[in-house]
């Protein structure tokens, strides 16, 4: 979309093939974290008996979550993916017939034909774009997509839960601790608004029916470590492009930091973390 948009201004990663690989890898990790479930069981049970199902995926990226869900739900279900950029979309010819993709900024009003039409609105991996000033407006905007008995399904990482851990207390891991510090500072106000999720949802006209914390399990830590490495490599490439130093013979300090982090991870360091899952429904104003 033309013009300056909130998502474009603050999205810190690339949208090239390496970025798509990271997103797909991250999707597999989160799917394993959720016991191979794409939707919370409470939503699956509720929509199972509906004659027709419509699902919207916000910031759909490479569309992997949406296309996997299209395989799991009835063939007459309809799936719509929204993202501020089409750069990571596959060709339409490679999509299932019931999957449609759109270029749209999730902070902006949606087209009238989408309003009040979705059984499920899915939001994942959006935390880096949110703060105390814009989170409520985003929720209010997504609520407009829901049909009266629809669900807002939000799964995200809590950066304030991050902490450096290791398999041995004696392991020296300054780079891991530095990355944790950066993560927590980048989303410094999450602790001010996430604990108030019920108030935020109510202000947006939603009732939070489920709130769960999901802990990273030990056997998934290697995948989580890989996600950090790939993310930092993206940042290094973007920094190099921005400064015009991609052809410079002097290695970037960030590249050395990535090597240091990779070495610490190989010795048994990791970043402990929790995810949160919030399910919301439209408030019943008659009660």
Q: What domains does the chain contain, in order, with CATH numbers? A: 7-162+188-221+272-282 (3.40.50.150)
Asked if the model's pLDDT at residue 28 lies above 60, the reply is yes
Residue 215 burial (CB < 10 Å; 0-12/13-18/19+)?
exposed
- 48 neighbors 73 (Cβ within 8 angstroms): no
How many whole angstroms from its chain centre is CA 5?
18
Which pLDDT band holds residue 59 (cuts at 50, 70, 90)? very high
pTM: 0.91
**Six token digits for residue 113:** 């034909």
Kindly report the average pLDDT of the chain as a whole number.
Answer: 91
Asked if the model's pLDDT at residue 43 lies above 60, the reply is yes
E-state strands within the chain: 54-58, 78-83, 99-103, 118-124, 146-166, 206-215, 269-282
Q: Is 155 helix (H, G, I), strand (E, B) or coil?
A: strand
Closest by CA to 153, choosing from 120, 186, 189, is 120
Distances (CA, A) of 26 to 64, 200, 230, 280: 11, 27, 10, 24
What does the pLDDT look like over 161-212, one tens digit per residue?
999 999 999 999 999 999 999 999 888 899 899 999 999 999 999 999 999 9
Which pLDDT band holds residue 150 (cuts at 50, 70, 90)? very high
How many whole angstroms separate alpha carbon 81 and alpha carbon 173?
40
Which pLDDT band holds residue 17 (cuts at 50, 70, 90)? very high
How many whole angstroms separate alpha carbon 278 and alpha carbon 107?
19
Asked if the model's pLDDT at residue 249 lies above 60, the reply is no
24 or 13: whose pLDDT is higher?
Answer: 24
Q: In what side-by-side order are the strands of the sheet with 99-103?
A: 99-103, 78-83, 54-58, 118-124, 146-166, 269-282, 206-215
**What is the phi/psi pair of residue 6, to 5°?**
-55, -45
Closest by CA to 15, choosing from 74, 68, 83, is 83
- 20 neighbors 88 (Cβ within 8 angstroms): yes
Strand partners, 155: 124, 277
How many whole angstroms separate alpha carbon 246 and alpha carbon 240?
5
- What is the pLDDT averaged over residues 125-134? 92
Strand partners, 124: 155
- What is the pLDDT averaged over residues 61-79? 97
């Amino acid at each position: 979309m033309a013009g300056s948009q909130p998502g474009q201004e603050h999205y810190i990663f690339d949208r090239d093939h390496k970025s798509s690989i990271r997103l797909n890898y991250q999707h597999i990790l989160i799917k394993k974290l959720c016991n191979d479930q794409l939707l919370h069981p409470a939503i699956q049970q509720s929509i199972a008996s509906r004659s027709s199902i419509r699902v919207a995926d916000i910031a759909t990226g490479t569309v992997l979550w949406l296309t996997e869900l299209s395989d799991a739900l009835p063939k007459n279900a309809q799936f719509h993916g929204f993202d501020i950029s089409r750069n990571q979309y596959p060709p339409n010819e490679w999509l299932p017939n019931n999957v449609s993709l759109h270029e749209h900024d999730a902070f902006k009003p949606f087209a009238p034909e989408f309003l009040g039409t979705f059984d499920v609105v899915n939001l994942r991996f959006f935390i880096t774009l949110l703060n105390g000033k814009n989170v409520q407006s985003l929720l209010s905007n997504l609520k407009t997509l829901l049909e009266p008995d629809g669900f807002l399904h939000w799964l995200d990482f809590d950066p304030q839960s991050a902490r450096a851990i290791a398999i041995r207390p004696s392991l020296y891991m300054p780079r891991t601790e530095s990355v944790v510090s950066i993560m927590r500072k980048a989303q410094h106000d999450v602790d001010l608004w996430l604990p108030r999720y019920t108030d935020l949802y109510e202000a947006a006209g939603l009732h939070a029916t489920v709130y769960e914390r999901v802990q990273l399990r030990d056997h998934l830590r290697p995948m989580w470590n890989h996600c950090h490495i790939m993310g930092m490599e993206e940042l290094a490439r973007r920094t190099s492009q921005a400064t015009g130093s991609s052809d410079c013979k002097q290695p970037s300090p960030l590249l050395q930091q990535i090597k240091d982090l990779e070495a610490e991870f190989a010795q048994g360091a990791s970043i402990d973390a929790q995810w949160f899952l919030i399910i919301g429904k439209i408030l019943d104003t008659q009660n």
